[in-house]
Amino acid sequence: MNLIEKIEPLLLAMAALIGLALGHFSGLSGFLGPWVQTLLILMLIGVFWDVPFKELKKSFGDLKFSLTSLAINFIWIPIFGYFLAKFFLGGHFDLQIGFIMLLVTPCTDWYLVFTAMARGNVPLSASILPLNLVVQLLLLPVYLWLFGGLAGQSDPLYILWQVVLVLFVPLLVSRVLTWVSRPRPRLGAALRRVFPGLRFWYLFLAVLCMFAGEGGGILGRPDIFVLLLAPVLAFFVLNFVAVRFAAKAMGFGFRDGVSLNLTTLARNSPVALTVAIGAFPGRPLIALALIIGPLIELPVLALISNFLLRLGRRKGIPGYG
């Protein structure tokens, strides 16, 4: 994890604050707002660039681990997250949607860093990456249709179009560009600098532009971080415990259990943020929940990784000395 990745949530929060200031004081909101979707599409081309889809079959090398991970990520967590949202965020519909969207998109990158920190089974964790991404892309229209009912936006055709536009178009473009550039190394290197190399900064600018254009309703809500703190912490603590029991019940070894824990705890907020902005325009609180969530998530994952490392040492697991 490089420096940018370590402070990514803080930088995104900074982008939101800069956007609010620009929108409030400069009158640029009308100019910046229309750039959001273009910047997000550019960002997602970079996100999809290096995903090893050709390794998808490896996800089924350990069928028990893959099926357990899928069941937790895409059945248990959406149901659990829905009840957490209702319990902690009742009446705050936009925050409920943002919180649930954060939970239903499993991470496809930095969870590997935390798995390595906790000395889990990194190859096993990596094998589930393309499967997690494919399944979440397929299920996002379903989740969005369900969440759209909460937000008063339940037109399934509109939601499907937004998913196609902000997810599948970048996915197709990234595949075409990598195919075209494969026999042309210099072109490939140049495209990598433009897309994967700049993907975070596309997201940074998209968040800035969105909050410049739609941030009026946020300035009077300094309580949002406090509102989200309890449900996010409850998710990490309770889900960590539940998955530890699940790993034991399934007969996983300690390292595989560590991998299952971190594969089912880390969330993929850039993808969720992109879809939320496209599917729920004019609802900046939904996006804000997806920015605040990782501010809480990263230090919690670091603490959990450290706890698992210490637990492995206390149990005398080989390699944890």
DSSP string, 81-95: HHHHHHHHSTT-HHH
Write down the pTM of the prediction: 0.79
Reply yes or no on whether the pLDDT at 150 is more than 90. Answer: no
pLDDT, tens digit, 9 for 90 and up, residues 151-165: 555 566 666 677 777
Domain 3-312 in CATH 1.20.1530.20? The answer is: yes
Q: Tell me how far apart the alpha carbons of residues 272 and 220 are, in angstroms, rounded to a whole number.
A: 24
pLDDT for the residue 90: 84
pLDDT, tens digit, 9 for 90 and up, residues 250-289: 999 999 999 999 999 998 767 788 777 777 777 778 888 8
pLDDT for the residue 220: 62
What are the E-state strand segments in the chain? none
Domain chopping of the chain, boundaries: 3-312
Reply yes or no on whether the pLDDT at 246 is more than 90. Answer: yes
Q: Name residue, tokens 């495209």.
A: 191
Reply yes or no on whether the pLDDT at 28 is more than 80. Answer: no
Q: Which residues contact 263 (CB under 8 A, 6 or more apart)?
A: 69, 73, 106, 107, 111, 115, 125, 128, 132
Are 100 and 147 in contact by the 8 Å Cβ rule? The answer is yes
Tokens of 66: 């893959």
58 vs 179, higher pLDDT: 179
**Any idea of the CA torsion for 45, 46, 50, 51, to the nearest 10 degrees?**
-50
Q: Name residue, tokens 């290197």.
A: 189
pLDDT, tens digit, 9 for 90 and up, residues 59-102: 778 899 999 999 999 999 999 999 999 999 988 888 998 899 89
Q: Tell me how far apart the alpha carbons of residues 235 and 67 are, in angstroms, rounded to a whole number.
A: 21
239 vs 208, higher pLDDT: 239
248 vs 15, higher pLDDT: 248
Angle at 178 between CA 11 and CA 37, to 5 degrees: 40
Are 205 and 42 in contact by the 8 Å Cβ rule? The answer is no
pLDDT for the residue 321: 66
Neighbours of 222 (CB within 10 A): 8
Q: Tell me how far apart the alpha carbons of residues 43 and 199 are, in angstroms, rounded to a whole number.
A: 4
Q: Tell me how far apart the alpha carbons of residues 36 and 58 are, in angstroms, rounded to a whole number.
A: 36
Q: Which amino acid is residue 247, in one-letter code?
A: A
